Structures are given as structure tokens and as C-alpha cells.
Amino acid sequence: MARVAIVTGGTRGIGEAISLALKEKGITVAANFAGDESKAKSFTEKHGIQSFRWNVADFDACQEGVRRVEDALGPVDIVVNNAGITRDGTLLKMSYEAWKDVIDTNLGGCFNMAKATFSGMKDRGWGRIVNIGSINGQAGQYGQVNYAAAKSGIHGFTKALAQEGARFGITVNAIAPGYIDTDMVAAVPAEVLAKIVAKIPVGRLGQAHEIARGVAFLCSDDAGFVTGSTLSINGGQHMY
């Protein structure tokens, strides 16, 4: 029987690429989304992957959403916490709401989804949780105290939960993407983007499928001895 995965934010950008990569590995994928019903419908029609709507920042919605996925597809073995938002601004200009929204979605969503699925993985003796962090959670970024804090928190969350899951056959890892050619990055002004690319040793933006390949490996049986790790996929932009 195929394993079942939930990919949050799984209908567009990096999330879409992850959903497709897992499907190609024979995994049954549920793609979570929070907003655009029409785009999610188009995604499902195009790729044959079911989509499910809920807000990962809402604890109760995650509990109910996971129940809906399990009723439709079976027990959840894999969670990829990819959903994320930005509300950029310097601290002096940032509202509390902009801080809270990003923390609740990007970091809180990881807790909410793990809380909804960890027990089942433990009972079955196998699980994979992959959290999508960011180069900006590793190195920081001007005007992103909320986003950088949330993504940095993901890396610590990953290490701590990995220690809890190891004896139950559950691995917990993170991927820290650099600048990837997605709609979010495309919105960056051209002159700013040129300066970013100039700092990437390989000389280009990353592609969503390059992140997805890393996720697919970490979700596989072959990655059973990898846990508590952060895989940096950033073209050499940040090394440590």
C-alpha cells in the first residue's frame, strides 16, 4: 500500500514541485492550500493530486484537515511543512499583526501539523517530517525579522523533534532553500534580484524541482539514518 503524504502549501511554487516529486516516487499525495480555490482545482485537474483547504496557522483546522485526508486517502506517513508567507518590513515599520501572522503560519504551522500526525506515525513505527526553512533563517535578512525568526525557529524545532522521533522510526529533517525561481522571488525588483544573483556562486537562481528532489530523498527509506539535519540547497550562497 502506498504511503500517504501531506504537503502544506502544496499546490504552487516549491510546494507543487514537491507534490509532483513525491507522486513520482509512488506516494499518495494530499496537497494542502489556504487560499485560491480555482488554482487548487486546476492543480488537481492537471496533476491528479487531491487538494485540501485549511489554514496551517489554525491548530483545530490542522486536526480536522488531517482527519479529512486520512478518511480520503489513509493514515498519513509523511508531512512536508512547506506553507509559508511573508509580511516584510523593518522592525520600526512592522506591525504586531505582521509579526504574528508570519510566526503563526511559518513556524506555528510546523507544530500544528506535527501535533496532528506524530502520534499516528509513532504507533505505526515509521514517519517522515520535512520542514522547509530558508537561507534567511540561517543568515538573517534585512527587513525580515519575522520571516527570519520563524525560519530559524524551524531549524531548532527540527533538531528537537528529531530527538523525540528517532526511537519510533520517525525522522525529522529540514531543507533550507536559497533564492528559488518562484512567483515570490519574481516579485522582487529586477535591480535587487540582480544583486542577489551576483552573490550566488553558481550564478543563477535555484529551481523548484531542485528543492523537491531533496525532499523526496529525505522522505524515502534510503534516508532512514538521516535525522535532525538541515540540507542547504542554495547554490553556495551561504556556507557554514
Which active-site residues does the annotation give? 147
How far, in Å, CA of 210 to CA of 233, rounded?
A: 8
How far, in Å, CA of 138 to CA of 128, rounded?
A: 23
Q: Which long-range contacts (CB under 8 A, 24 or more apart) does 181-190 make?
A: 181/205, 181/206, 181/207, 181/208, 182/13, 182/14, 182/208, 183/12, 183/13, 184/13, 184/86
Opening angle at CA 212, ends 185 and 15, nearest 5: 60
How far, in Å, CA of 116 to CA of 202, rounded?
A: 39
**Residue 123 CB neighbours (<10 A):** 11
